[in-house]
Structure 1
Amino acid sequence: MKVIKLDAIDSTNDFLKGLSQTQNVENFTAVTAKTQTKGKGQMGSKWLSESNKNLITSILIRDTLTSIEDIFILNMTVALAIVEALKKYKIPAVSIKWPNDIMAENKKIAGILIENSIKENGKIDSIVGIGLNVNQTDFENLPKASSLKIYMGLDFDTENLLESIVDEMQTYTTKIKNGETDSLWQEYTQNLFRKDIPTVFEDNKGLKFMGLIQGINPNGKLEVLLEDDSVKQFGIKEITMVY
């Protein structure tokens, strides 16, 4: 695994994307930064981190996806790789909050942002951005955020964490190449945050309603069982989970 270490950068995703466009970058190359000034989350939301306390990284994954329709399968694979890596560190009740947040119990400890680009030869390069709260303990005005140190009471080595995550990514992406997507869907569904637990949701019009998370459809939409026994599908940013 090749790692490019930076002190400060506006965005590790943007840096790695630019590098991959001008050089032949090795698969699973990771870029890390102590500080990121323009960290991004899903749909343009910002992600802020204390300097040198967390894992801020972007990882190049290529030669894995063969169709743009399989993008959510890569999302699942990355989330599962992080969950599996963190379980080995005994982090409690790790789960995936749809679509790309990693939870410990009921607190967010990591976010994922994947940016895909289709090359002239039809191949797809993916830049996987990960922000993992590691040794930061102050989350003022972020009551739903936490870190590995808060849960475990000790400092973690971010380089060891990165190596564990990339190792799991290599294992899980092999499953995509081998056509084992059914097992990936099943494992992702089993690891969903609040699956089959009565949960309050709020739609983009501010309407609150109760439902049970059932799973994910092939397009990556969340399937929710409503009080009238119907199952409705929701896309990213169409609903918010109230918990």
Structure 2
Amino acid sequence: MLVKELTAAAVTRGLKTRSIGRKVLYFNSLPSTMDIARQEALKGAIEGTVIVAGEQTGGRGRLKRSWLAPKGNVALSIILYPKIESLPYLIMIASLAVVKSIESFTGVKAQIKWPNDILIGGKKVGGILIENELRGNKVTYSIVGIGINVDLRVADYAEIATTATSLKNESDKDDLQIEIIRALLTEFERLYLKLPDGKAIYEGWRERLVTLGKKVRAESGSQDIEGEVEAVDEDGALVIREEDGKLTRVVAGDVTLREK
């Protein structure tokens, strides 16, 4: 089978977006697309500029965790200049865009685990990292980093063999990398253009949250919270009913799903 070569031209060919992905900077190998995106944003890159890496050798997720992205997978960052009131919706837009792009090409149902993981069958297939630079009440830039396991042979990596999956593992489709990137950028723009009216985005995101109604343990700062997720607010915060009946909002943190 002839494998399609990932290049900037391959991504933009046939892409019908207005801004997201109209400029693509491709690198065969990078430590992190986030670092290059930050440099480009500070130089005044146009909104929607996308940094794509053929492989990412030092990628990071939330809480300074590493993100494995060898060749054949998706590792990209999108440069945005949103209004400050739109910031809570960026994780929702990115999550929904990943889920819908996966489903459109594989037919496999994907779900969102709060705050930034994409799951298939309870295993992680993708992740999102957002970094914002603010000056006062204005956003200097926002960078949305997205990683998706496409052709990753999970069994080759003992540290993630039981907790992660890939589109190759979950479907009979091969060579999806470029198609997934194009679909992702198209869906991301469709949702991004719905701002500043974020209600529909929030509702679509909430419907895909596997975390709702589940028993969880949340680590937020110095707090360790256990209970059931009763709701999720429009700003993205989880509302957890603890075992003593107290309701606690978790705005940021690490959440582990627990068996009931």
- TM-score bucket of the superposed structures, by smaller chain: 0.7 to 0.9
2:171 to 152, 177, 199: 152
* Deviation of 1:230 (Å): 4.0
Q: Does 1:106 align with 2:148?
A: no
Q: Answer yes or no: is the 8 Å Cα contact 1:119–1:125 preserved in 2.
A: no
How far apart are the structure 2 equivalents of 1:123 and 1:158? Answer: 31
Q: Does 1:21 align with 2:38?
A: no
Pair 227,73 (structure 1): closer, same or farther in 2 beyond 3 Å:
same
Q: In structure 2, what is the equivalent of residue 66 of structure 1?
A: 83
Q: In structure 2, what is the equivalent of residue 7 of structure 1?
A: 28
Q: SS state of the match for residue 43, structure 1?
A: helix
Q: Which runs of 5+ in 1 are unaligned?
A: none
Q: SS state of the match for residue 167, structure 1?
A: helix
Q: Answer yes or no: is the 8 Å Cα contact 1:40–1:47 preserved in 2.
A: yes
How far apart are the structure 1 equivalents of 2:195 and 2:129? Answer: 19
Q: Answer yes or no: is the 8 Å Cα contact 1:84–1:168 preserved in 2.
A: yes
Q: In structure 2, what is the equivalent of residue 89 of structure 1?
A: 105
Query: What letter matches 1:163 in structure 2?
Result: R
2:66 to 28, 34, 46: 46
TM-score (norm 1): 0.85
Q: In structure 2, what is the equivalent of residue 116 of structure 1?
A: 132
Q: Which runs of 4+ in 1 moved over 6 A?
A: 204-208
* Deviation of 1:208 (Å): 8.0
1:173 to 176, 192, 197: 192
Q: In structure 2, what is the equivalent of residue 221 of structure 1?
A: 237
* Deviation of 1:101 (Å): 0.8
RMSD: 2.5
TM-score (norm 2): 0.80
Q: SS state of the match for residue 138, structure 2?
A: coil
How far apart are the structure 2 equivalents of 1:226 and 1:91? Answer: 37
Q: Answer yes or no: is the 8 Å Cα contact 1:189–1:215 preserved in 2.
A: no
How far apart are the structure 2 equivalents of 1:27 and 1:230? Answer: 43
Q: Which runs of 5+ in 2 are unaligned?
A: 1-21
Deviations 1:40-83 (A, max 9, x none): 11121111222x12111111123xx222x432211111111111
